[in-house]
Chains A and B, each alone.
Chain A
Amino acid sequence: MGDHYHGPATGVTRWLFTTNHKDIGTMYLWFSFAMFLLGGFFAMVIRAELFQPGMQLVEPAFFNQMTTLHGLIMVFGAIMPSFVGLANWLIPMMIGAPDMALPRMNNWSFWILPPAFLMLASTLFMEGGAPAFGWTFYAPLSTTYAPPSVTFFIFAIHILGVSSIMGSINIIATVMNMRAPGMTYMKMPLFVWTWLITAFLLVAVMPVLAGAVTMMLMDVHFGTSFFSAAGGGDPVLFQHIFWFFGHPEVYIIILPAFGVVSQIIPAFSRKPLFGYASMVYATASIAFLSFIVWAHHMYTVGMPVAGELFFMYATMLIAVPTGVKVFNWITTMWRGALSFETPMLFCIGFLVLFTLGGFTGLMLSIAPADFQYHDTYFVVAHFHYVMVAGAVFSMTAAVYYWLPKWCGRMYNESMGKAHFWISFIGFNITFFPQHFVGLAGMPRRIPDYALQFADFNMMSSIGAFIYGASQLLFLYNVVATIVAGERVSDEKVWDGAEGLEWTVPTPAPYHTFEEPPLVPKPAGTI
């Protein structure tokens, strides 16, 4: 053994200077959880204001800042980095690699995130307040009418983009180049597959987002007229560019979640994943389709009818590969020896609620119907079903599933189950009524509403407080596990778990697979 393979350094420099994928994964995970709590706190402010009709707690302008920052922080600060953290921890262990392909760049990808979010959050204290134009930052709200802090918002987005691009290049290089001998593409665990495809999406669309915010920057400071009709540009151009990024972005968020669920459901069904190859092809199809559906977010801007029709049919097509996935998960459970530990509960919660979110997505894809749903709480309900019950539930499942492997200690199962049920019930109390108020016409992003929406909004707010509180239980459970959980030493923590990460000791040593393993023939996937 060379001198490169000692244990971790001590003190703060271990974390600042690390090149170890496990350290970096841990930092990503903790950072994203901190952002989850911050974004969640903003959500609580929103729900507190909406608890009753009329102006209650905050100024309308501040309310808008809260909705904007809530969305930005949850998407870019909580969900995306959490899955990057998971990728860092798991991909090298799953494919039998000693580390990520480019370890120093890996560390850089992480460390530019905290200052970028610090810069974003600091806009709250700037003159004119934080950005208040919604997480989609449509022009001209984000150009002509933007507060001066928009400059720092733009640069924060640039840095997040740089981080994401470097992170995905690292993942692509790792998966394409670092697989252990015998780990062919079609033997890779599905989590690795979904992340590989996600990384391609990121490399393709984060630069487009950078282009969009750069045009904003030029419009604000240099008098260009990309998004101003007076000079021959068009605000709708902004929406096209934004959603060319934004639609693949929602798959960037959900595909790794699909990967997680595809690892966990087989483990607790004690059966291999049903239809492995079709899962891979479905993921690739979803990724491809994501590039040609962007304008379904823009049905009401006055597109030509041909455009409406094209984007409507293309969007509906996505239901096919997504349906393949849902049926494969259900078929995996069919006649399996099921058990319902916390990770499995969250996965089943994911399966039910994500499917519901998918169905409302199908409703929204119908262009003529969307004219009624557009920009209502129905949309808010839809995307929280896929973002929270989809991405966040699967992320939570992942933490419960792999935590024992990471730290060699078992979490408290009854507390985990309580966390699931409180989350599940709180989530549904929050967002299910929003379908109804949305269909009845309550617009999103407003601090006040008509009286007939009062009851459902109060329910939503109570549900949100319950859901929010349950995350503190999660935090407690995780910390308690790391500090004083019951020790586990089995390599295979779960009897049904398959894959290379379950062949290394528990807790996973600081360096794994310095020598590539021989990949066992069925490789846990097929």
Chain B
Amino acid sequence: MSSNTTAVPGHEKYYVPESSSLAVRATIGLVTSVFGAGLVLNDMTYGAASESSNSVWVLTAGLVFFVLTLFSWFRTAIRENLAGMNSGQLHQSYVLGMFWFIFSELMFFAAFFGALLYVRQFVGPWLAGEGEGGRMNALLWPGFEFSWPPVTTPQEVVGGVDAQAIANNGAFVSQEKSMAPADAHAWYAWLPMWNTIILLSSSATVHVAHTGILAGDRKKFNLWLGITVGLALVFLVLQAAEYYEAYVLFGLTLNSGIYGSTFFMLTGFHGFHVAMGMTMLLIQLIRSLKNNHFTATDHFGFEASSWYWHFVDVVWVFLFLFVYIL
């Protein structure tokens, strides 16, 4: 057993903040946003109760209030740090908090990857009549054959929603197209590969920025952090271009069966996380440029954002592998 004679005399006081209205304000913001989003979605799907539905305004007000609250929450935390209230132990709490938050985000993506793999490995073949799960094929989806990416849905094969033997919850449109490269010579026109290169480089550039601040070289830090934010933006623009292509040229939509569902959910949530990560990095850049906030030993805001950025990158690697390549 370790000795328990040390540490107590020199123990740093752990900073326990004063009572604060931040949590309640954030609650009001979050709950109003979510309630507003529910109203908007129900108006969309089930029809608005009246012509002049306020749903969008509820959502907007909630979001604005929420973002403002988060802003003042982070500002408070930053000011406390600048005032020297944060001990090394509190810093460790922040480290643990960020680490396990990222882990929970990974598990969120795991649900969608799990869905993708389950569909490809089990559901598709079963619907096409293979294996132990395939006995219903002749009854429900006669003629359906499975391939990945699927070129059609079971519904289309049997002749549309009205010909289905069981109910469904969506009318599917148009044929699906593969997002894989059509032929080898077109590789340079293949957006996902460029996006992979961009995102992987951005992980490298954010690391270079980190080495910059560790060496106390703020110019290097600002430059490479700026490049990272730029790369993130390029990624998002290319992703938007890809979505446009998918929707308009290929007819691949959320509504076009399981391929569209998994494709847009995985890439969409990833894109949303890229946007979040970019915002986080941008805020760190502004803090550095405007307020000179970071030093070689004290730059946790940046460090946490960079971990988040690496996480977004790792998720993309899996995405590229399972959604695009395989």
Do A and B share a complex?
Answer: yes
Given contacts A102-B93, A182-B4, contact A234 B260 (CB under 8 A): no
Q: In the complex, are the beta carbons of B104 and A207 less than 8 A apart?
A: yes
Q: In the complex, are the beta carbons of B265 and A218 less than 8 A apart?
A: yes
Question: Measured between alpha carbons, how far is A212 from B114 in the docked complex, in Å?
Answer: 11
Closest to B36 in A: A155
A323 part of interface (Cβ distance < 8 Å) = no
Q: In the complex, are the beta carbons of A17 and B258 less than 8 A apart?
A: no
Query: Which parts of B131-169 form the interface with A (CB within 8 Å)?
Result: 131-133, 140-141, 150, 153-155, 161, 164, 166-169
A442 part of interface (Cβ distance < 8 Å) = no
**A105 to chain B: which residues have CB within 8 Å?**
23, 97
Q: In the complex, are the beta carbons of B23 and A155 less than 8 A apart?
A: no
The list of the 7 closest CB pairs from A to B, nearest first, reads A211-B111, A182-B4, A232-B258, A230-B168, A223-B170, A224-B261, A207-B108
One of B41-49, B181-189, B295-303, B309-317 contacting the partner: B41-49
Q: In the complex, are the beta carbons of A177 and B257 less than 8 A apart?
A: no
**A236 to chain B: which residues have CB within 8 Å?**
123
**A152 to chain B: which residues have CB within 8 Å?**
35, 38
A140 part of interface (Cβ distance < 8 Å) = yes
Q: How far in angstroms is the closest Cβ of chain B from A97?
A: 8
Closest to A13 in B: B19
Closest to B21 in A: A17
**Using an 8 Å CB-CB cutoff, how does the interface string of B14-57 with A read, 1 for contact, 0 for none?**
11111111111011001100110110011011100000000000
Would you call the interface of chain B mostly helix, strand, loop, or mixed? helix
Q: How far in angstroms is the closest Cβ of chain A from B229?
A: 27
**Using an 8 Å CB-CB cutoff, how does the interface string of A185-220 with B read, 1 for contact, 0 for none?**
001000000000000000111111011101101111
A515 part of interface (Cβ distance < 8 Å) = yes
**B178 to chain A: which residues have CB within 8 Å?**
none
One of A106-114, A259-267, A333-341, A366-374 contacting the partner: A106-114
A binding-site residues for B, Cβ under 8 Å: 2, 4, 9, 13-14, 16-20, 97-99, 101-105, 107-108, 110-112, 115-116, 119, 140, 143-145, 148, 151-152, 154-155, 158-159, 162, 165, 168-170, 172-174, 176-178, 181-182, 184, 187, 203-208, 210-212, 214-215, 217-234, 236-237, 240-241, 244, 302, 304-305, 511, 514-516, 518-519, 521
Given contacts A101-B97, A205-B107, contact A178 B21 (CB under 8 A): no
Q: In the complex, are the beta carbons of A225 and B258 less than 8 A apart?
A: yes
Q: How far in angstroms is the closest Cβ of chain A from B65?
A: 14
Q: How far in angstroms is the closest Cβ of chain A from B61?
A: 15
Q: In the complex, are the beta carbons of A225 and B100 less than 8 A apart?
A: no
Q: In the complex, are the beta carbons of B255 and A244 less than 8 A apart?
A: no
Q: In the complex, are the beta carbons of B35 and A155 less than 8 A apart?
A: yes
B286 part of interface (Cβ distance < 8 Å) = no
Q: In the complex, are the beta carbons of B38 and A151 less than 8 A apart?
A: yes
Q: In the complex, are the beta carbons of B41 and A230 less than 8 A apart?
A: no
One of B5-13, B191-199, B244-252 contacting the partner: B5-13
Question: Measured between alpha carbons, how far is A218 from B154 in the docked complex, in Å?
Answer: 19
B242 part of interface (Cβ distance < 8 Å) = no
**B35 to chain A: which residues have CB within 8 Å?**
119, 152, 155
Q: How far in angstroms is the closest Cβ of chain A from B296?
A: 24
Given contacts A115-B31, A181-B8, A224-B261, contact A151 B118 (CB under 8 A): no
**A184 to chain B: which residues have CB within 8 Å?**
1-2
B237 part of interface (Cβ distance < 8 Å) = no
Q: How far in angstroms is the closest Cβ of chain A from B145?
A: 12
**A16 to chain B: which residues have CB within 8 Å?**
21, 24
Q: In the complex, are the beta carbons of B34 and A229 less than 8 A apart?
A: no
Q: In the complex, are the beta carbons of A102 and B97 less than 8 A apart?
A: yes
Q: In the complex, are the beta carbons of A206 and B11 less than 8 A apart?
A: no
Q: In the complex, are the beta carbons of B265 and A215 less than 8 A apart?
A: yes
B96 part of interface (Cβ distance < 8 Å) = yes
Closest to B89 in A: A177
Question: Measured between alpha carbons, how far is A108 from B93 in the docked complex, in Å?
Answer: 17
Task: Select B155's contact among A4, A170, A231, beta carbons within 8 Å.
Answer: A231
Q: In the complex, are the beta carbons of B17 and A231 less than 8 A apart?
A: no
Q: In the complex, are the beta carbons of A98 and B261 less than 8 A apart?
A: no
**B11 to chain A: which residues have CB within 8 Å?**
181, 515-516
The residue in A144, A169, A215 that gathers the most chain B C-beta atoms within 10 A of its C-beta is A169
**A159 to chain B: which residues have CB within 8 Å?**
30-31, 34
Task: Select B170's contact among A154, A187, A231, beta carbons within 8 Å.
Answer: A231
Question: Measured between alpha carbons, how far is A176 from B93 in the docked complex, in Å?
Answer: 9
B318 part of interface (Cβ distance < 8 Å) = no
Closest to A155 in B: B34
B124 part of interface (Cβ distance < 8 Å) = yes
